[in-house]
Structures are given as structure tokens and as C-alpha cells.
């Protein structure tokens, strides 16, 4: 779900096609997005307007922003001398492959890495057991720089490391419902590792050269469900930062200043009445309601879903056996649009569909929002600085083994065998019309502190995140090269922020201009309590936490159907 790679892939595509867009093409894009002349002149959505870009198509990336310095050399040298530790951490987290909100071993591994680098670590950020904040301070009066670490895996994407065809590492045998175990199909094992390595490298360089700075690393839980950071931002966790550096595994090495989609995740629960499938009269099937909702929501696409929107769903719970009418069923939606305001309009229509499905099936429906985030606020000046560092450092150093695996995966997936992306993508303006894409909980941070994001190629050209093929690469040769490169890009850029105060000021000035007239307010509903799992006792003891945290109700309220059988009317009179 962390889909920043969409923007990075888009940048790579523009690199191939060139940044020039004709007036005719722009008008075609406007038409595709359903934009009329009246809409163009109307008051813009503030969140969308702040992310808009007026850079001409003839834009050329500036040079001379990234500067060599003894501190930068020290940071990069630290990464080189600790490469085995860095790639070892990536491999360790990949092996754990722990799901959102349950990253017990992964969070401990990442926290331990930073503790050994001199960071002070505190678990339980914003009440999440597997979230932590690691802090390093050198001197006083320097900038406060934040790094983003994630380490959750995805369900069903288990895959053996370095294998070029689908070969689940964990196959769950069930004669009625075979499945696969979790896997790092979005590469978060590498994401958290590279960010931690960059933070550690900056800390070591600052200490060696006596540069005043505070480095803060935020170990974030549940990015794949967009829960961890959105809630943490609402609790003020990221206050006081001067800049925030983020990256995500991708199929290309690129950065930019495009936006992402805002998103609300919502789960609908239908309650009916169970009964024997052989005597179904009077039963109320919650599954029927979920299926009707899924079907009806598909009819929203033609007339209610703009190209900037996305609507996708999965039935979480649809029953267990055909001869028991499902009494409870749940269907979850991700509702995405270009801004929180547009998400709400589409969400209201989805809620109306749920109510219609409940009425038609004679069931009861309720819904709960599990997460909600804004669209990302771009930073052109920050992206320009990061891009020049990427260009100076160069692409990941992929060994022949990485290209071999990439081509095997591409052949297995029916794609051209192009290997890994071994270039630095050109820095190009975003499309003049926003046509949708992925979402990230980093977006909420970006409205509170200047934020930059970039992608480093961990997966083969043409493939996608959230696939078993990405899991095959994440801790194999492609991922291990990407993790080192990403750490270098982030560390070099962070050092520039320390040694060039004017560069940091320019980034903060742009942030101030973009956020004029826009007041960020969490998209989470009032009274929201984030979903959590109770940690094992050993984890609580090791991290010094108590259960439950103060910000949630425990045990959670049970959802139990109290519905009655459906009436069929008066008994028919006997025939005579």
C-alpha cells in the first residue's frame, strides 16, 4: 500500500518519453480527468492546489546544490565499511516477514542496529507497541532531521529468496483454502534498513566532525495498512522537525515532486442470522449483503469515479462452510482521490451502497474507518537536492547475479527481459493533470514538515510492488544493492542540510509558501482508536512497555449479531 513507487515509475516513464507535453496533449489530459472550463476557473481544493505545479515543460534540473564535504565523505565511508551489517539487517527482517502491527522481531532488530550506533531508543510511539523513536544528538542549535523506517510485510506474498519463478517459502496447506504465508512484497525489509543505515551514518559523521544536529529515526508500524504514521502525526509525534527524508523500494532510481492520492480505509460489517444451508428459509446471509455491496459499488466506476480516483475492495470474512449461512461478513474498501475532500465525496457514495445492500438483504450494517491519510505535499527544492546527490553517487551497483534474477522473473511474468534499472532517472516535472496512483502515510508528515521521497530500484523493470517477485528480490542481490544505494542517497542529502543552512532554509521557505491558506487536520474521525494486537509478554518485557496503552480500549468491543430470522408471512392455508 505504500505506493510511492507509482510516482517513481512515472518519473522513469517520463524520462523515456521526454518532459515535453504539447498543448493538445494537455487538453486531452484535462478531458480525460473530466475537467471543464468552468471547473478550471472555479475555486480549487486547497489540498490539491498546494500540490499543484507550475514548472514549465522546458524545466532543467539545477546543478551545484549538492556539495562535497568531509562530513559527507565520512557518512558515505561509514556505509561502505558497514555494508555487511546493513545487508545483514535487511536479510534478518526479510526472514521474519511480520505483518502490520505485529512486527515484534523486526522492530527489535532495527532498534538494536540504531542503539549500537549510539541512538537512544524508546518503544511505544503513539501507543503502538512495535513503533519506536530513536534519537541521536550532537551539540546544540543544529537542525532536527527525521528518517522514516518501515518493516511490515504483506499477507500472501511469501516467496523463496532469489528464485526466479513463483515458489512460496511458506505454503499453508488447507484442503479447502490453500494459501501462502506473508512476504516482503513491498520491500519494507530494505526500506527500514536503508533509512536506519542513513540515520546512523549521518550521526557518525556529525560526531566525527562535531556538527550540531539531532537525528531522529521513526520506526513505524503498519505502513501497509496506512495506520502507523497517520495516527502518530495526529498525536504530535513529528513536531519539531526541520526536514524529513523518506524512500521506498521501486523499479527505478528516481525522485520528483509529484503528489499521491489521499485515502480512507473502511471496513463494512454485515450481520445476519445463521442457519442450515439445507433449510435456508428465514436465514439472513451476511455474505449475500457483502456480495451485493461489491457488485453495486462497481457501478460507481462509470459516472462517479474520476481518473484521479481509485476504489478497490476485498471480502475479509465471507463464512467458512457452505451449509452454514454466514451470520457475519466483512468487506473492506480503500477509497482514494486527489484530496481528503474528494475522498469524502466518494466515500459517502460507498456508504450509501452499503446501506442499500443491507436493506435488500434484510441484514444490519455498520462501518468503521481503520485509517485515513492526506495526499502528499511535494517539495520541489528538496527533490532537486536529493536528485543531484543521487546523480553524483550513481545508480545501485547491481552484480551480474541481480540482472540474472531480474531477467528470470521478467520471463516468468511475461515481461521483456530488461534486467534492473541501472540509471538515475532524469528529474522531470509531474504531469500537469493528476491522474491518481498510490497512497502513503508519509503524506500526513509532509503537511507538517518539509518532506522528500525517492525510489531506488529493488525490483525488475516492468514489475510491480506488492508481488511475490518483489519478495524474491528484497533480500537477494537486487535488494541488497538497492539498500546500500538508498542509504547513500539519504545520508548524503541529510549531510547537505547540516552543512548548507541556506539550502535547508530554501526548502523550508518553499514549504511555507505551499502551505499558506491550508490547515492540516487529520482525516481520521473523532474518537478514532487505532487497531492493535496484544503483544506477547516477552516483547513487552524486552521493550519495557505495559499493556494496554492508554489510548485504546481493551479488550475491544465484541461484534455479535442480534438479528432475528426473516418473516415469511402468515402460514399458508392447507389445500383442500
Q: What is the CATH number of the domain that holds 280?
A: 3.30.70.360
Quote the pLDDT of residue 51. Answer: 79
**How many domains is the chain built from?**
2
The verdict on 368 and 407 lying in the same domain is no
Query: Which residue, 475, 491, 514, sits at the end of a domain?
Result: 514
Angstrom CA distances, 438 to 365, 375, 435, 471, stand at: 28, 9, 11, 19
In which residue ranges of the chain is pLDDT below 50? 1, 3, 5-6, 8, 10-42
What distance in Å separates the CA atoms of residue 395 and residue 471, rounded to the nearest whole number?
Answer: 21
- Asked whether residue 34 is assigned to any structural domain, the reply reads no
- Asked whether residue 519 is assigned to any structural domain, the reply reads no
The verdict on 89 and 222 lying in the same domain is yes
The verdict on 218 and 267 lying in the same domain is no
Contact 293/361 with Cβ under 8 angstroms?
Answer: no
Quote the pLDDT of residue 541. Answer: 98
The verdict on 354 and 463 lying in the same domain is no
The single residue listed with the C-alpha cell 488447507 is 174
Quote the pLDDT of residue 100. Answer: 98
Contact 482/396 with Cβ under 8 angstroms?
Answer: yes
Quote the pLDDT of residue 44. Answer: 62
- Asked whether residue 562 is assigned to any structural domain, the reply reads no
- What CATH code is carried by the domain that includes residue 113? 3.40.630.10
b/e 539-561 (16+ beta carbons within 10 angstroms → b): bbeebebeebeeeeeeeeeeeeb
- Asked whether residue 555 is assigned to any structural domain, the reply reads no
- Asked whether residue 341 is assigned to any structural domain, the reply reads yes
Contact 249/470 with Cβ under 8 angstroms?
Answer: yes
Query: Which residue, 351, 373, 395, sits at the end of a domain?
Result: 373
The verdict on 357 and 215 lying in the same domain is no
- Helix, strand, coil percentages for the chain (3-state, nearest 5): 40, 15, 45
The verdict on 396 and 453 lying in the same domain is yes
What distance in Å separates the CA atoms of residue 8 and residue 567, rounded to the nearest whole number?
Answer: 56
The verdict on 369 and 464 lying in the same domain is no
What distance in Å separates the CA atoms of residue 6 and residue 439, rounded to the nearest whole number?
Answer: 9
Query: Which residue, 373, 404, 435, sits at the end of a domain?
Result: 373
The verdict on 367 and 398 lying in the same domain is no
What distance in Å separates the CA atoms of residue 125 and residue 221, rounded to the nearest whole number?
Answer: 10
The verdict on 160 and 250 lying in the same domain is yes
- Asked whether residue 429 is assigned to any structural domain, the reply reads yes
- The pLDDT mean for the chain works out to 92
574, containing H or E segment:
none
Quote the pLDDT of residue 43. Answer: 52
Cα of first residue to Cα of last residue in the chain, in angstroms, is 65
The verdict on 399 and 332 lying in the same domain is no
Contacts of 249 (CB under 8 A, 6+ apart): 5, 186, 187, 188, 190, 191, 455, 456, 458, 459, 465, 470, 474, 479, 482
The verdict on 494 and 386 lying in the same domain is yes
Host domain of residue 300: 262-373
- Asked whether residue 38 is assigned to any structural domain, the reply reads no
The verdict on 68 and 192 lying in the same domain is yes
Q: What is the pLDDT of residues 516-530, one digit of tens each?
A: 989 999 999 999 999
- Asked whether residue 569 is assigned to any structural domain, the reply reads no
Comparing CA positions, the residue from 408, 374, 351 lying closest to residue 159 is 408
Amino acid at each position: 500500500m505504500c505506493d510511492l513507487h507509482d510516482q517513481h515509475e512515472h518519473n522513469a516513464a517520463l524520462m523515456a518519453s521526454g518532459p515535453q507535453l504539447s498543448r493538445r496533449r494537455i487538453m486531452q489530459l484535462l478531458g480525460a480527468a473530466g475537467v471543464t472550463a468552468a471547473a478550471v476557473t472555479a475555486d480549487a481544493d486547497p489540498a490539491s492546489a498546494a500540490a499543484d505545479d507550475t514548472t514549465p515543460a522546458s524545466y532543467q534540473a539545477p546543478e551545484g546544490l549538492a556539495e562535497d564535504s568531509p562530513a559527507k565523505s565520512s557518512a558515505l565511508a561509514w556505509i561502505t565499511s558497514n555494508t555487511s551489517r546493513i545487508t545483514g539487517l535487511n536479510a534478518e527482517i526479510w526472514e521474519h516477514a511480520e505483518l502490520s502491527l505485529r512486527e515484534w522481531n523486526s522492530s527489535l532488530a532495527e532498534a538494536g542496529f540504531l542503539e549500537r550506533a549510539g541512538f537512544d531508543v524508546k518503544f511505544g510511539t503513539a501507543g503502538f507497541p512495535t513503533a519506536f523513536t530513536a534519537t541521536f544528538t550532537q551539540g546544540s542549535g543544529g537542525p532536527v532531521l527525521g528518517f522514516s523506517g518501515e518493516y511490515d510485510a504483506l499477507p500472501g506474498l511469501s516467496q523463496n529468496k532469489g528464485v526466479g519463478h513463483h515458489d512460496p517459502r511458506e505454503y499453508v496447506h488447507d484442503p479447502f483454502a490453500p494459501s501462502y504465508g506473508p512476504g516482503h512484497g513491498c520491500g519494507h525489509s530494505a526500506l527500514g534498513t536503508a533509512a536506519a543505515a542513513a540515520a546512523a551514518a549521518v550521526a557518525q559523521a556529525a560526531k566525527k566532525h562535531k556538527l550540531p544536529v539531532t537525528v531522529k529515526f521513526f520506526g513505524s508500524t503498519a505502513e501497509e495498512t496506512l495506520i502507523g504514521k497517520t495516527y502518530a502525526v495526529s498525536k504530535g509525534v513529528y513536531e519539531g522537525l526541520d526536514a524529513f527524508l523518506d524512500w521506498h523500494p521501486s523499479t527505478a532510481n528516481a525522485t520528483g515532486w509529484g503528489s499521491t492520492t489521499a485515502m480512507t480505509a473502511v471496513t463494512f460489517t454485515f450481520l445476519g442470522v445463521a442457519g442450515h444451508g439445507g433449510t435456508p428459509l428465514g436465514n439472513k446471509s451476511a455474505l449475500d449483503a457483502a456480495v451485493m455491496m461489491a457488485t453495486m459499488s462497481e457501478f460507481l466506476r462509470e459516472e462517479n469515479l474520476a481518473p484521479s480516483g481509485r476504489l478497490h475492495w476485498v471480502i475479509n470474512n465471507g463464512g467458512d462452510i457452505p451449509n452454514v449461512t454466514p451470520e457475519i461478513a466483512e468487506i473492506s474498501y480503500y477509497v482514494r482521490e486527489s484530496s481528503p475532500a474528494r475522498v469524502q465525496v466518494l466515500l459517502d457514495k460507498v456508504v450509501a451502497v452499503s446501506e442499500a445492500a443491507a436493506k435488500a438483504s434484510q441484514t444490519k450494517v455498520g462501518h468503521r474507518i481503520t485509517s485515513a491519510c492526506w495526499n502528499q505535499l511535494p517539495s520541489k527544492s528538496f527533490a532537486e537536492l536529493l536528485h543531484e546527490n543521487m546523480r553524483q553517487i550513481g545508480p545501485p551497483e547491481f552484480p551480474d547475479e541481480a540482472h540474472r534474477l531480474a531477467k528470470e522473473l521478467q520471463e516468468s511474468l511475461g515481461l521483456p527481459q530488461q534486467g534492473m534499472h541501472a540509471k538515475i532517472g532524469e528529474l522531470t516535472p509531474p504531469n500537469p493533470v493528476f491522474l491518481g496512483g498510490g497512497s502513503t502515510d508519509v503524506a500526513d508528515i509532509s503537511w507538517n514538515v518539509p518532506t522528500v521521497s525517492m525510489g531506488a530500484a529493488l525490483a525488475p523493470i516492468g514489475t510491480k510492488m506488492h508481488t511475490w517477485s518483489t519478495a524474491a528480490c528484497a533480500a537477494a542481490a537486487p535488494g541488497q544493492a538497492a539498500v546500500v544505494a538508498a542509504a547513500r542517497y539519504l545520508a548524503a542529502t541529510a549531510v547537505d542540510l547540516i552543512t548548507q543552512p541556506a539550502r535547508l532554509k530554501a526548502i523550508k521557505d518553499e514549504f511555507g509558501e505551499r502551505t499558506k491558506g491550508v490547515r492540516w487536520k487529520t482525516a481520521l474521525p473523532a474518537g478514532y482508536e487505532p487497531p492493535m494486537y496484544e503483544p506477547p509478554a516477552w516483547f513487552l518485557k524486552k521493550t519495557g512497555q505495559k499493556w494496554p496503552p492508554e489510548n485504546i480500549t481493551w479488550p475491544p468491543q465484541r461484534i455479535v449479531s442480534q438479528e432475528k430470522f426473516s418473516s415469511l408471512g402468515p402460514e399458508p392455508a392447507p389445500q383442500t
